[in-house]
Amino acid sequence: MTGRLYNNQNLIQQEGELYFYQDFFNNDTANLYTQTLLKDIPWQQKHITLFGNTVEQPRLVSWHAESGIHYNYSGITMLPEPWTDTLLTIKHAVEKQLNTKFNSAFLNLYRNGRDYMGWHRDNEKSLGPQPYIASLSFGADRKFKFKHINNTNFKYELILKSGSMLIMGGEIQHYWKHCLPKALKVNDPRINITFRQVAT
C-alpha cells in the first residue's frame, strides 16, 4: 500500500469534495484481494422496481456491516452479512489512512463491461447530511463519471484502476450524480467496495 494522493487536490472544486488515491494498493495486493473477494463474498442479484416494472439489477451486490445495521435503497432492504477477514483487512487500511471509522460496506460486482451503474446520488438519510464514502476498486479498469445536477457544464470523469481509492465527501451527494457506464470491450470483472458510516 502506498497511500499516494493523486495531485493532492479536490478534483471537482465545485460544491463537493472528490479525492483520488490512484495506487492505494499495489498490483500484487489488489490482484490477491480481487480473487479472494470473488470467491468469499456471498454475491446476490437483486430486483428493483423502475417505473412500475421489476427488473434485475445489472450487477451483483453484497452488504456487510455490524449486526443490526440494514441498508435501504430503491425499495430494497439489505440485511448485513458478516465481515470477512479480507474485508476487515481492507477496512482497517482505509480507516488508518483516512483517520476515520466506517461501520458498513456496500459491495458491487460488475461481471464484465455489460454490467453497469446508472446515474444516482448516495444521499439516503441514513448516511447523514454530508456522506463520507471511501470507494475501492479491484479488477478491471472502468470509467467513472460525475455530472452536476444544476449546471451541465460541470462534468468530471476518471478511470478507476485496480487498487485505487476514491473519496467522496462534503456536499458532493447533494449537487453531483455519478455513474459507471457500460464498457462493452471489457470482459473481466470489477469489484467495488464503498465503505460508509450508517446511522444506527
Give yes or no for residue 107 having a pLDDT over 60: yes
How far apart are alpha carbons 100 and 142 in whole angstroms?
27
Spatial CA neighbour of 51 closest among 84, 80, 75, 20: 75
Lowest mean pLDDT segment, chosen from 45-49, 117-121, 122-126, 155-159:
45-49
Share of the chain above pLDDT 90, in %: 78
Share of the chain above pLDDT 70, in %: 96
**Mean pLDDT of the region 85-103:** 97
What is the CATH architecture assignment of 17-196? Sandwich (2.60)
Using the 8-state DSSP alphabet, how is residue 81 labeled?
Answer: B
**Mean pLDDT of the region 125-145:** 96
- Decide: 32 and 38 in contact? Cβ < 8 Å: no
**Mean pLDDT of the region 38-44:** 97
**Mean pLDDT of the region 97-106:** 96
Give yes or no for residue 2 having a pLDDT over 70: no
Using the 8-state DSSP alphabet, how is residue 127 labeled?
Answer: G
Per-residue pLDDT of 3-27, as tens digits, reads 556 667 899 988 999 999 999 999 9
Give yes or no for residue 124 having a pLDDT over 70: yes
**pTM for this model (two decimals):** 0.93
Confidence tier at 50 by pLDDT (50, 70, 90): low
For all residues of the chain together, what is the average pLDDT? 92
Per-residue pLDDT of 77-93, as tens digits, reads 888 999 999 999 999 99
CB atoms within 10 A of CB 121: 15
Q: What is the 3-state composition of the chain as percent helix, strand, coil, each rounded to the nearest 5?
A: 20, 40, 45
- Domain extents in the chain: 17-196
How far apart are alpha carbons 138 and 33 in whole angstroms?
7
* pLDDT of amino acid 55: 80
Per-residue pLDDT of 173-198, as tens digits, reads 999 999 999 999 999 999 999 999 99
Give yes or no for residue 38 having a pLDDT over 80: yes
> What 3-state class would DSSP assign to 3?
coil
Residue corresponding to grid cell 495486493: 29
**Mean pLDDT of the region 120-124:** 92
How far apart are alpha carbons 119 and 136 in whole angstroms?
19
